[in-house]
Structure 1
Amino acid sequence: MNELDQDHYPQSCPFCAIASAYPPTTSRSLLDYVPKEEDADPDRIQPNAFVILSAPDVMAFLDILPMTNGHLLVATRTHRKLIGDIEEAEGREIGFWLPLLARTVAKVTGVADYNIVQNNGVRAAQVVPHVHFHIIPRPETMPEVKNKSWTMFGRGQRNDLDEEEAVKLAGDMRSVLREELGRPADGDSKGRL
């Protein structure tokens, strides 16, 4: 058996730990899925989590090793290793939130260009064995990188998240996400999933 075919992931899942620290509300109002500032305490879990969204099936939080400012992760709440493992309701909820979160990232960072990346398995550069999407802003000026293809998909030059900056960034993202949820949408889905 090829070494890469074996499961080389850590025993505990950091994304499941975040989901446990931020349980979903029983409310059906979408605005209630965006933590209030007093409920968004990043010290609730170690390493700190800067949570933007805590919906029934989906979580969103800042990447602790961002490729660029505003790098956001969108993950299933329930532990699912690969995209093929997610259930229909989870897929619908991810599909609902990704455009809202992408607009939020673009507005907060002022960067209109971004990648949405989802890796499946160790050979595809999946580091955490839990389904998640990366929303990665691509500013006009990017640091020079030696291995662009791997950096694009989550490997390479990344920096630790600055916690002071992250508190402000996460607060701004929650505020803009609330505004996005208040916008009238096609199909009148305002305020409900």
Structure 2
Amino acid sequence: MSVDDLYPIPCAFCNISTAYPAESSPVPSSPDPEKVDPQCHLILSTPHVLAFLDIMPISPGHILLTTRNHYRKLSDLQPPTPTHNDWASQRAATDALETSRALGEYLPILSRALCTVTGIEDWNVVQNNGERAAQVVPHIHFHLIPRYQEGRKETQRNGRTDYGMLKSWRMFGRGSREDLDDEEGKVLAAELREAVRAEVEGGKGKGEKAKL
């Protein structure tokens, strides 16, 4: 047994999952951001996934989509095949499958909501697995990072896009991040929730969206 086993480090995303249990609607109406410290500006809360604003965004609107239950890496979403009458393993296998589906379902929804609220045309979806891959919180999460058009040189003389001149284009890393202003976060999260709600209500009848 290691020291880590004796003194586990609390998982920030598990704390958020516990603080904001799933409700009848995947889009919370007015979640209290002060249920956790630092504040959580919640956007989505389903039985299998949650989404909230990154507290150190690379750009305004930077969203994190994470799993409700604790999985460290994407590869952990494929548990061993459940054995007959082993209810615990069957439940784990079912949760892993439904969580995988929920991640795939909500990534496009959040992307469209992000574009609607911020007016962006381009964005990154980044997912890291392990410390060497820059995973800071050891709990599966996807980054949706807006890339803003304002103030950029869009084309070179040959007419091709000059990606090196996009002023909002910054490589994913710690050096370019700033703390999220809580007041701005409250406003932005509310706008994103409404945009997600419109997306979900427009597509009732599929997956977790049908629970609205």
Report the equivalent of 1:139: 148
Secondary structure class of the residue paired with 2:55: coil
- Partner Cα separation in structure 1 for residue 150 and residue 70 of structure 2: 36
Question: Bigger CA drift: 176-185 or 153-162?
Answer: 176-185
When the two structures are aligned, how many residues end up with a matched partner?
171
The Cα shift of 1:153 comes to 2.8
Q: Tell me which structure has the larger Cα radius of gyration.
A: 2
Residue pairs, 1:30-45, within 5 angstroms = 32-37=25-30, 40-45=31-36
Distance of aligned partners of 1:142 and 1:114 in 2 relative to their CA distance in 1, 3 Å threshold: farther
Report the equivalent of 1:65: 56
One-letter amino acid matched to 1:173: L
The Cα shift of 1:142 comes to 7.6
Give the 4+ runs in structure 1 shifted more than 4 A: none
- Residue from 80, 89, 113 that aligns with 2:98: 89
Report the equivalent of 2:21: 23
Distance of aligned partners of 1:192 and 1:42 in 2 relative to their CA distance in 1, 3 Å threshold: same
Secondary structure class of the residue paired with 1:33: coil
Report the equivalent of 2:158: none
1:104 equivalent in alignment to 2:122:
no
Report the equivalent of 2:46: 55
- Partner Cα separation in structure 1 for residue 144 and residue 17 of structure 2: 19
What root-mean-square deviation, in Å, do the aligned CA atoms of Structure 1 and Structure 2 show?
A: 2.3
TM-score, structure 2 normalization: 0.75
- Partner Cα separation in structure 1 for residue 131 and residue 121 of structure 2: 30
The Cα shift of 1:141 comes to 4.3
Amino-acid identity (%): 46
Gaps of 5+ in 2: 78-95, 153-169
- Residue from 174, 178, 193 that aligns with 2:197: 178
- Partner Cα separation in structure 2 for residue 114 and residue 11 of structure 1: 32
- Partner Cα separation in structure 2 for residue 109 and residue 154 of structure 1: 22
Gaps of 5+ in 1: 1-5, 144-150
Secondary structure class of the residue paired with 2:58: coil
